[in-house]
Structure 1
Amino acid sequence: MNTVVQKFTADGITVVGGIPSMTSSPEEIADFAARADVLTVNLGTLDAERRRVILRAVEVVNAAGKPWILDPVHCDYSPSRLAFAQELIALGPTIVRGNAAEMALIGSTGPGLRIQTGEVDRIGSGGEGVRVANGHRWMAEVTGTGCLTGGVIAAFMAVEPDALVAAASALAVTGVAAELAAPLSRGPGSFGVAFLDALSAIGERELLTHARIHYDQD
């Protein structure tokens, strides 16, 4: 996980009922990956050691047949980061999740589910797709909301084997939580706290009232 946002992301995973681990220790990563239900690989902060640790974690979960998510953060900024993201994609992530610029380089087709985030989040796999139109503009002004959302997707994948269903549900939950948090906030600073509170308290009634999920099929 991106070291800048580890606590915020861990808090988001925790409030939806998951148990997060942010370990990147070469001595521990194989053991932690073996115990995990889902692995999230976030390229937000990279160095040579973290690259080796990521490859080892992916090796472990692939051998065990477990799902994993790749978030190729800022692969559009650095040729070496893009090359590493493409190397990871060749290893078969269950989900690749990025913004429009990142996904333009990664590509919208290939093995696994593709999620393009934005004002409307677009989830696609083969001929079917889902659009989730929930969220709030302050999500873009609080560092880590995207990484947190990726963590929530992973938590949902731990209990829902259909990656499309898990991803759409997680994006709807985080988007609705953001919409509920915004009226209680004075700006991005207080929004981050209110967002976690709303994510913890959200229930079926709020989702049925506010979720905007659209299904597409070619």
Structure 2
Amino acid sequence: MNGLSNLVESAAASLAFVRQRCPRVHCLMNTVVQKFVADGLAALGAIPSMTSSPEEVEAFARRADALVVNLGTLNEERRTVIRLATSVACDARKPWIVDPVHCDYSPSRLAFARELIEVGPAVVRGNASEMELIGDVDGVLRIKTGPVDELRLDPDAVRVANGHPLMAQVTGTGCLSGALIAAFMAVEPDRLIAATGALLTSGIAAEMAAKRSSGPGTFEAAFRDALAALRPEDIIANARISHAQG
């Protein structure tokens, strides 16, 4: 891995690529947060699509540049749809990310998450308890989220410390970060650079939004505005990253 300063510069450049290329991201997303995620992607210039219809999902996945799979509101039909979409993404060699939401709550959900990971996503992203259950996965970028996000793709590992506590009070900020990672992977082939760029974008936008907010309600709108206004130079000036240990 290049030095951290080079990583930050490359991550900042990937934000510019997203705005220039407007990648299409298909989101099999927690139904509670679909509008928030779609608005967040659109604020960066990406094009979101959200259908989870079994009759349509393969066509939408083929047209997309990247796919994000979120297990938040899961039922048998959504399992079928996810299998269809991930098969298309793999066949077309499109980058995709799986967010194994609440796999620590349900054995069947954990089994499904492991089934998806066997198929070969580019990235797995979850909180500490979820990622502890998922364990090590060869060849996959693992992202453990928290107050400080940790990214590992052997032999490289970095920590991203940007963000704000108000993010935890707005439903969907974590789901959006997964979608942003997919958008960045659509324009940047290096997964570590792409994911770092997405997490810096989300975290720094949150810090900017918090300065203009009086609580979670105003933060939600300010966060979207900050995403739309964020510039690559803001990432370079405000990034807080370090090498991870262990």
Q: Alignment length, in residue pairs?
A: 218
Which ranges of 4 or more aligned residues in structure 1 deviate by more than 6 Å?
none
| Alignment-mate amino acid for residue 102 of structure 1 | E
Deviation of the 1:146 alpha carbon: 0.3
Quote the residue 1:37 is aligned against: 65
Counterpart CA distance in 1 for 2:62 and 2:232 is 33
Structure 2 residue 197 is the aligned partner of structure 1 residue 163: no
Quote the residue 1:8 is aligned against: 36
Counterpart CA distance in 2 for 1:146 and 1:177 is 13
Among 23, 26, 30, the alignment partner of 2:54 is 26
Structure 2 residue 142 is the aligned partner of structure 1 residue 119: no
Quote the residue 1:77 is aligned against: 105
Quote the residue 1:66 is aligned against: 94
Among 31, 40, 45, the alignment partner of 1:17 is 45
Unaligned 5+ residue runs, structure 1?
none
Counterpart CA distance in 2 for 1:116 and 1:186 is 29
Deviation of the 1:40 alpha carbon: 0.4
Structure 2 residue 229 is the aligned partner of structure 1 residue 190: no
**What TM-score, normalized to structure 1?**
0.97
Report the secondary structure of 2:121's partner residue.
Answer: coil
**What TM-score, normalized to structure 2?**
0.86
Structure 2 residue 176 is the aligned partner of structure 1 residue 148: yes
Structure number with higher relative contact order (C-alpha < 8 Å, ≥ 6 residues apart): 2
Quote the residue 2:82 is aligned against: 54
Counterpart CA distance in 1 for 2:177 and 2:130 is 17
Counterpart CA distance in 2 for 1:155 and 1:137 is 24
| Alignment-mate amino acid for residue 108 of structure 2 | S
Question: Contact conserved, 1:127 with 1:217, CA < 8 A, in 2?
Answer: no
Report the secondary structure of 1:74's partner residue.
Answer: coil
Q: Which has the larger displacement, 38-47 or 108-117?
A: 108-117
Deviation of the 1:161 alpha carbon: 0.7
Counterpart CA distance in 2 for 1:158 and 1:204 is 17
Question: Contact conserved, 2:150 with 2:244, CA < 8 A, in 1?
Answer: no
Deviation of the 1:158 alpha carbon: 1.1
Report the secondary structure of 1:206's partner residue.
Answer: helix
Question: Contact conserved, 1:114 with 1:123, CA < 8 A, in 2?
Answer: yes
Quote the residue 1:108 is aligned against: 136
Report the secondary structure of 1:6's partner residue.
Answer: helix
What's the % identity of the aligned pairs?
Answer: 62
Deviation of the 1:217 alpha carbon: 8.0
Quote the residue 2:232 is aligned against: 204
Question: Contact conserved, 1:184 with 1:194, CA < 8 A, in 2?
Answer: yes
Report the secondary structure of 2:242's partner residue.
Answer: strand
Report the secondary structure of 1:5's partner residue.
Answer: helix
The superposition leaves residues 155-187 of structure 1 with CA deviations (integer Å, 9 ceiling, x where unpaired) of: 111110111100001100110000010011111
Q: Which has the larger displacement, 181-190 or 199-208?
A: 199-208
Unaligned 5+ residue runs, structure 2?
1-28
Counterpart CA distance in 2 for 1:159 and 1:119 is 27
